[in-house]
Homo-oligomer: A and B are copies of this chain.
């Protein structure tokens, strides 16, 4: 709930300088009979959802692709119905006259393979919860391992199918930023600009540690049953615990102070009076995690964790220098000053190597009490810098 409030605040802040995307958006589905993963394994009947805002021009070169974050989906802007309480997560920068101007650009936002929220009716994805055509049952942990590169390769097929000849920009936050870096490295002639937000071109050891903790509660839940749980309730407790860790590690002090400070969960039940009486933040984390767990799939979370851990452009190219030399896109990196998952110090350290490799690279920092999620909730701060970057 607090996140919704914060999101509204971010949108309100943005309101005076641009108008909301008043278009009612629809989730569409891209399907492909066969898709070959980087590992060589084949997936048949692949589906991913996507949304578009604005119109593609005749030359097919005014498209912008938005890649989503770990627990997100392709609903980046607009509303599915006029009375939706909140629009897509980056609505403050996507729309007529905004940084990613839908009067000028054709914005595409795509779901990834193994999207977390398989039970969200507006998410379309292919992953371990999908039916394996060979068995007629969900793949579970027999689903092949996927990588960020696979996400991007499938998006490449998707955008080509829409008539896109070139992407004016790829942008995304967090795991969306990993995809953005991957796009610039994998398809250098197809990407003019890259806007990786709260993200780095490799997942550092520190974040590997956090990703380990995000998967841990699922695999510790006996109901996970090595991923074979689709005929049961599944590891709801483990998944919910995992989402609690995701939530807190993605935030910062501001969120906790604003939502809860030292308020009690129950006005009558003083935490000072008894062991089980808790503070409001425990309740906020629990409620939020339980609500998110209802829409999510535990195995998909493990596949996403794995895909994130494997991301390193240096490993792919032999060195980071080689990776940067292979890229052609102009790069605008955006960090959040209180981000503890992708600390700004780690992001900024890539500026000099990028410039040395001949890239046009710049950095902007969001000032936020929301930590990592500042890259989503407070993205409106980057409105002007993104606008300028798009006109370069």
Q: Are the C-beta atoms of B252 and A206 separated by less than 8 Å? A: yes
In the bound complex, do residue A262 and residue B222 qualify as a contact, i.e. CB atoms below 8 Å apart?
no
A57 at the interface (CB under 8 A from B): no
Pick the residue among B252, B262, B275 that contacts A208 (CB under 8 A): B262
Within the assembled complex, what's the spacing in Å between the Cα atoms of A295 and B338?
35
- Contact residues in B for A346 (Cβ distance below 8 Å): 253
As for how many copies of this chain the complex holds, the number is 2
A141-B275, A210-B248, A309-B279 known; A262 and B216 CB under 8 Å? no
A297 smallest CB distance to B (angstroms): 15
Given contacts A141-B275, A202-B262, A274-B145, A213 and B244 within 8 Å (CB-CB): yes
- What chain B residues lie within 8 Å of A208 (beta carbons)? 256, 260, 262, 279, 281-282
Q: A256 touching B204 by the CB < 8 A rule?
A: yes
- In the complex, are the beta carbons of A275 and B145 less than 8 A apart? yes
Q: How many interface residues does A have (CB within 8 Å)?
A: 54
The yes or no answer to A60 lying at the interface (CB within 8 A) is: no
Q: Are A209 and B309 in contact (CB under 8 A)?
A: no
B241 touches A216 (CB 8 A): yes
| Nearest neighbor of A215 in chain B, beta-carbon distance | B282
Q: Are B261 and A309 in contact (CB under 8 A)?
A: no
Taking the nearest CB of chain B, how far is it from the CB of A41, in angstroms?
Answer: 12
- A192-212 vs B, Cβ < 8 Å mask (1 yes, 0 no): 000000000011111011101
**A290 close to B (CB within 8 Å):** no
In angstroms, Cα B237 to Cα A306, docked, is 22
Q: Which residues of B contact A257 (CB under 8 A)?
A: 204-206
A354: shortest Cβ distance to chain B, in Å?
A: 20
Give the residues in chain B near A217, CB-CB below 8 Å: 217, 220, 241
Q: Which A212-268 residues sit within 8 Å CB-CB of chain B? A: 212-213, 216-217, 220-222, 237-238, 241, 244-245, 248-249, 252-253, 255-257, 259-263
Q: How far is the CA of A271 from the CA of B281 in the complex (A)?
A: 36
Q: Determine if B216 and A244 form an interchain contact, defined as CB atoms under 8 angstroms apart.
A: yes
- With A145-B275, A279-B309 known as contacts, the answer to whether A261 contacts B204 (CB < 8 A) is yes
A-B contact pairs, 25 of them (CB 8 A): A204-B253, A204-B256, A204-B257, A204-B261, A204-B262, A205-B253, A205-B261, A205-B280, A208-B282, A209-B285, A212-B244, A212-B278, A212-B282, A212-B285, A213-B244, A213-B248, A220-B220, A220-B238, A220-B241, A249-B249, A253-B345, A262-B315, A271-B306, A272-B315, A279-B309
